[in-house]
Structure 1
Amino acid sequence: MKLINKIKTKQAKIGIIGLGYVGLPLVIEFCKAGFQVYGFDIDERKINLLLEGKSYIKHINNSSISEILPNFTPTTDFSRISEVDCVIICVPTPLNKYREPDLSYVFNTGEVIAKYMKKGQLIVLESTTYPGTTDEDLRKILEKSGLKAGVDFYLAYSPEREDPGNKEFSTSKIPKVVGGFSSSCLEVAKALYDQIVVRTVPVSSTKVAESVKLLENIYRAVNIALVNELKILFDRMGIDVWEVIEAAKTKPFGFQAFYPGPGLGGHCIPIDPFYLTWKAREYDFHTRFIELAGEINTQVTYYVLEKIIQALNENKTSIKGARILILGVAYKKDVDDMRESPALKLMDLLEKRGALVDYNDPYIPELPETRKYKKKKKSVELTPDNLSLYDCVVITTDHSLYDPDFIAKNSKLIIDTRNLIKSKTYQNVLKA
């Protein structure tokens, strides 16, 4: 095939739509492999920073951007889609306020591509979604161009598997699952990803590839729900769930450690399961197990809230008017990613009950607006004097930069949801 030959000889031009935590690492890998890459985004701030050789994602340094600029063209001009041979879609797929899939970003992107696409192009969707999105919904939008999938253009799905901040498994080291609308679509898509990843894993259809991503994250969501439920039970029984997990994971087979927290965060695990539960209704199927896990992971934030209120009461302090410091608003340690962070929800719940809430996060100096929350706050400096001002310090993210002894020695009361402070000698620390 002509396109496969262009890919293998690095003559194919690559277009990546959406330059966030998924799209930007892909840009870097394709540029490093010797391809000319066009990066498309509607955010002019991102484009301007990239043109200056600067990164806006913590785990991607400026040099990684400046080094690829000879091969990289960041732009807000989507008409330039007509200049590329392969288009990869990496846009958000959130939930709406009714916890239903919001595929507006994918569908709007499809409409834009349809205006400018040309015969022989490969279009790949990477955004997490329900089975059928690629070969049913997106295909129909793209075919408004007058071109037919599998005949005039190639269509595929390859789920993103990014883990921001993971130094062991970067984009190129993670095997890539690929499903095509047809056998020729699969062949072209596999040839593309073969250029940048350690191994491609071809599957029989786009629906299978879409389901793979959902299974991966539902597996994690369900197991996290299990340990969150056990955390609440063991707390009543006077048992430290963290000690239980550490002992259980010494078993060399049949057990994988998952850890409790203040709720689920990140773009994938809190959201992806609901894409499948929503699609399941079309088949008169109720995904009870998945929905129960979602319910538990949602309620654990309220459990943490109650632990804070109880601990304050025991210190003869009312939640109304209490000064509370949240430590860490990133959804996991050592990243600047706060998508769906449970810390934001906890902050909101505390403020609704009259608490005065500040936060510290070494990677997020100022809270940006999110779809759900619009809080104008700046990170408070961690000093002995500042810590001593708060009635309660709540650890919601266990950043490596946090010194557990320093925090414990200078705080009146601590609610630790991440087991950051492992020493049992501090009487002012409660696990939640």
Structure 2
Amino acid sequence: MNPLAKQLIEKIQNKEAVIGVVGLGYVGLPLAVEKAKAGYKVIGFDVQEKKVNMVNEGHNYIGDVVDDELIKLVEGERLKATTDFSFVKDVDAVAIAVPTPLDKFKQPDVSYVVSSTKDIAKYLHKGMLVVLESTTYPGTTEEIVKPILEESGLKCGEDFFLAFSPERVDPGNKLYKTKNTPKVVGGCGEDSTKVAAMLYRNVLEGEIFEVSCPAVAEMEKILENTFRHINIGLANEMAILCKKMGIDIWEVIEAAKTKPYGFMAFYPGPGLGGHCIPLDPFYLTYKAREYDYHTRLIETAGEINDFMPEFVVDNAMKLLNKEKKAMNGAKVLLLGVAYKKDIDDMRESPALKVIEHLEKNGANVMYNDPYVPSFKHKGKEYASINWEQGIKEADIVIITTAHSSYDYQRIVNESAVLYDTRNATKEVENNREKIYKL
């Protein structure tokens, strides 16, 4: 093993290594907290001064971080944040956890990864580990990050170590957090893999699974989310067909779940949300073009999932028609705008597309979300209203996010027309004709 790798592993084992994290969002801040809790001195970086100040003041803004733990780590000088990239010169290892969005053509935007890597390269030093955690297409670590870092004059595998270890974050998950979720690590060479794996083994409780190279780790992350993307697309297509045939899709899925093998339940909904599932598969469709291959299944699933907000609004219009009311001028109350239950994350929330389609058809849209008091979308500002009052005013109520705090029995009882896109009312006594499901 490379002597520099041995030295770094020894510093990691002795908790003498200083760790850096670039990007203090949903991935970066929980990761920084876990590393600090494990006994390392951690320096977090973010371009947003507001986030940096909040961390340094011990003020938490991420749901999966425990407030008291953050305060103790900051007060104990185990964790601090900065907007100055020169902090890299003082760290032994740094993780990159920055956004990798899609542009309007659904092509990956790796500009945040590129700019962060260039800034790291300015302060890169011998014996240092760099780990990319941002989800991206296979080849990014070796084809983009590695050459930029080597512009420093240092050589990967000899002077510094580089690996890819995809983030696995599920906001709001009560069982699996950063600490206990298994981690995949693939380095540029065996030494890079071993060094990165050693760091994660000293920080996390979940299994650390080593793969042969960064491309395998990058591809497995895409496979994880493409698996969900396609199966949700199948569930949504089944929901569309079941609606036409007058069959309850939710009952169909419950019946299928009784099979003890060969079936995994996925559920339909008003569309896909979150930073991963709606986006990640398209990193692969982009890369596949380089190899003259068209990822038909992924793109077809994407078309189905993208259609669901429009499908929801079309059904809502039909429900209003039954009541001899038009969508144009109707008062519509949406319950929930976060992309999943019991969190405040609105990234790629399908509720936003539902609102767009409703307003295009002339609806007066109101919303309630206990986790999202207000938001701005395409230049327009929205504010959460009292749902009890909103139900009294609404011509139709649409459940777009099934938050646990809602009183579904009361919602069922008091709604003029209720359209449940999440099967949130499944446990509620429901014999009324004006309750409809996806």
Alpha-carbon contact 2:30-2:64 (below 8 Å) kept: no
Cα deviation per residue 1:349-408 (whole Å; 9 max; x = unaligned)? Answer: 211222111211111111155xxx34311111122x321111111111101111111111
Instruction: Name the aligned partner's letter for residue 112 of structure 1.
Output: D
Structure 2 distance, partners of 1:67, 1:362, is 28
Q: Does 1:302 align with 2:310?
A: yes
Partner SS for 2:185: strand
Let me know the Cα RMSD of the aligned residues: 1.2
Alignment of 1:27-176 (within 5 A): 27-69=32-74, 70=76, 71-176=78-183
After the TM superposition, which residues 2-401 of structure 1 pair with which residues of structure 2 at under 5 Å, given as runs?
2-69=7-74, 70=76, 71-197=78-204, 198-368=206-376, 373-383=378-388, 385-401=389-405
**What does the per-residue CA deviation read over 1:131-174, in whole Å, with 9 as the maximum and x for residues that have no partner?**
00001111122222222211211010001111111111111211
State the Cα deviation string for residues 87-119 of structure 1 (Å, max 9, x = none): 101111110001111111111111111112212
C-alpha separation between the residues in 1 aligned to 2:359 and 2:215?
43
* Superposition deviation, residue 187 in structure 1: 1.0
Aligned residue number for residue 419 of structure 1? 423
Which residue among 410, 428, 433 is the counterpart of 1:406?
Answer: 410
- Counterpart in the other structure of 1:429: 435
Do the aligned partners of 2:43 and 2:81 also contact (CA within 8 Å) in 1? Answer: yes
Distance 1:378 1:55 in 2: 23
Which amino acid counterpart does residue 133 of structure 1 have in structure 2?
T
Query: Deviation of residue 297 (structure 1)?
Result: 0.7
Task: For 1:402, give the aligned amino acid.
Answer: Y
* Alpha-carbon distance in structure 1 between the residues aligned to 2:273 and 2:251: 23
- What SS does the corresponding residue of 1:172 show, helix, strand or coil? coil
Instruction: Map Cα deviations across residues 233-259 of structure 1 (whole Å, 9 max, x no partner).
Output: 111111111111112112222211111
Would the aligned equivalents of 2:133 and 2:164 in 1 still touch at CA under 8 Å? yes
Partners in 1 of 2:335 and 2:359 — Cα distance?
Answer: 16
In the alignment, is the contact (CA less than 8 A) between 1:395 and 1:418 conserved in 2?
yes
Task: Look up the equivalent residue of 1:185 and give its one-letter code.
Answer: S
Moved over 6 A (4+): none
1:57/1:336 contact within 8 Å kept? no
**TM-score w.r.t. structure 1 length?**
0.97
- The number of residue pairs the alignment matches comes to 428
| Matched position secondary structure for 1:319 | coil
